[in-house]
Amino acid sequence: MNILAEHITEGGLISSAYQQNPDRIVWFVRSDGVLISCTYNQSQDVTAWAKHVIGGTDVAVESIAVIPTPDGKADELWLIVNRTINGSPTRYVEYLDQKFSSSALSEDAWFVDSGLSLSYTASSITGITQANPAVVTTSAAHGLSNGDSVSIYDVIEMDGIQGIYTVANATSTTFELSGFDTSSLPAYISGGFARRVVSTISGLSHLEGETVKIWADGATLPDETVSSGSITLDEPSSNIIIGLGYSAILTTMRLDAGAADGTSQGKTKRVNNVTIRLYRTIGIKYGPEGGTQDTADTRTFQDNFDEGIPLFTGDLFLLWPGNSEKKARLKFESSDPAPFTLIAIMPQLHTQDR
């Protein structure tokens, strides 16, 4: 099974587990603590090996097991992970979350290790007064308390109301926007949501001293270092996922695009451009192996820049960086805690014949 990737099991294997649903994957732990997998589907002639770099410092996977999910609809891989936390070796029991589904929202994308999440539910707005201060009414209990920060968004017509405010005089279904006067704004017509936002996140003592990745409301925020079990966000947010970062990397084999007198192997060639096909992806870096990497931005000027980045599905044309070379190995990488699914690579090359 590993005849085309003999290096991936070097050093020997110490643990294994088979995951059948939703994908048929044989998981292994190498003697050096590296987690590897073999996606195997005989009916579709699929045998694909991969190395899984676990986030953190001095990381070693020590044992693995597959057990059913609580609802019995899929299998989960559970791991004993040994990593250095705040200068001391620490073992955690962790599991791999289910893959990013076709119906999941971008704000729910989970691409961190040893992560935790915090999420506040949005309440539908049914009215906003033209007053000083403005009073917001929601269709059901909003759960907000005096002093909380709240984000008001997607309101129709009442231009100028979108923003973050401090809650005052809260009842079950109403609250004031402390110090905000809406007397001169257009009248409220319909729509809109109110959702609590926070800037300080606690409960992260298991990652004390670590630099963590932050996925907040469908966008990447700057990395922060956990101190006293907490961090402060650059932007107040509602749906937050925090954990250790890792990089998803794909490097192709040497390309053989052909030449006038036969194969292009062993000949100097230049990759002029590459079209890639992506599925529900946000952001990607690309470039020649060992060379400069450029960033492909999947956001367009038609997108709202005060909202999370939309998931991109489709073809993306890339002008390829780099010079003429013999290897022509293409590298694609995502280091952000964001979805990244690469379906196809369509390069255009020029081969220098002998």
Of 103, 102, 108, 136, nearest in space to 121 by CA:
108
CA distance readout (Å), 247 to 118, 133, 216? 23, 47, 18
Which of 76-91 are b and which e, b meaning 16 or more Cβ less than 10 Å from the residue's Cβ? ebebbbbbebeeeebe
Domains of the chain: 1-99 (no CATH), 101-245 (2.40.30.180), 248-351 (no CATH)
Q: What is the pLDDT of residue 301?
A: 67
Question: Exposed, middle or buried by CB within 10 Å (0-12, 13-18, 19+), for 281?
Answer: buried
Which class for 45: exposed (0-12), middle (13-18), buried (19 or more C-beta within 10 A)? Answer: exposed
For 21-64, the pLDDT digits (tens) are 988 999 999 999 999 999 988 888 888 899 999 999 999 999 99
Retrieve residue 208's tokens. 């004390």
| Residue 183, pLDDT score | 95
First to last CA, the chain: 37
Tokens of 268: 């100097």
Beta carbons within 10 angstroms of residue 151's beta carbon: 19
pLDDT reported for residue 306: 63
The 10s digit of each residue's pLDDT in 324-347 is 888 889 999 999 999 999 999 999
Residue of 129, 136, 130 whose CA lies nearest to 150: 136
Number of alpha carbons in the 13 Å side-chain half-sphere of residue 324: 9
d(CA 64, CA 52): 13
CA nearest to 344, candidates 278, 254, 257:
278
What is the Cα–Cα distance from 93 to 158, expressed in whole angstroms?
A: 49
Q: Specify whether the CB–CB gap between 287 and 293 falls below 8 A.
A: yes
Single pTM value for the model: 0.88
Residues 114, 172: contact at Cβ < 8 Å?
no
Supply angle C-alpha 223, 229, 232, rounded to 5: 45
Omega before 89 cis (within 30°)?
Answer: no
Cα–Cα distance measured from residue 201 to residue 238, given in angstroms and rounded to the nearest whole number:
11
Q: By CB neighbour count within 10 A (0-12 exposed, 13-18 middle, 19+ buried), where does 286 fall?
A: buried
Contacts with 72 (C-beta within 8 Å, 6 or more apart), sequence order = none
Confidence (pLDDT) at 156: 87
Q: Can you give the pLDDT at residue 265? A: 83
Cα-Cα-Cα-Cα dihedral sign, residues 148, 236, 280, 68: negative
Q: Walk along the chain (354 residues) and give the pLDDT tens digit of each residue.
A: 888 788 999 999 999 999 999 889 999 999 999 999 999 888 888 888 999 999 999 999 999 999 999 999 899 999 999 999 999 999 999 999 888 888 888 889 999 999 999 999 999 999 999 999 999 999 999 999 999 999 999 998 898 999 999 999 999 999 999 999 999 999 999 999 999 999 999 999 999 999 999 999 999 999 999 999 999 999 999 999 999 999 999 999 888 877 777 788 888 888 999 999 999 999 899 999 988 899 987 777 666 666 677 899 999 999 999 888 888 899 999 999 999 999 999 999 888 876
